[in-house]
Amino acid sequence: MEKIKIEHHTLSGGVWIAAWLFTIGFLKLTFWQGVLAILIWPYYLGTAFAVVR
């Protein structure tokens, strides 16, 4: 039988959430602006780190 190893990364997830809460507070965003930022943020990261060929 093959053993399956399950890893939990709760620390990195907690740091990510804490960083987002800090950013929303630092920028003084409203609740809905914060929600919109969380939804749009992955798109901007993808375009920023995309390798143009």
pLDDT digits (tens, 9 = 90+) for 7-30: 777 788 888 888 878 888 888 888
Total structural domains within the chain: 1
Is 4 within a domain?
no
Residue 27 lies in a domain: yes
**pLDDT tier, 36 (very low <50, low <70, confident <90, very high otherwise):** confident
Which has more confidence, 5 or 41?
5
Q: Which domain holds residue 37?
A: 10-49
Residue 5 lies in a domain: no
Q: Is 3 inside any structural domain?
A: no
**Contact, 34 vs 24, CB < 8 A?**
yes
Which one-letter amino acid corresponds to residue 15?
Answer: V
Q: Does some domain include residue 15? A: yes
Residue type, 3: K
C-beta separation of 20 from 38 below 8 A: yes
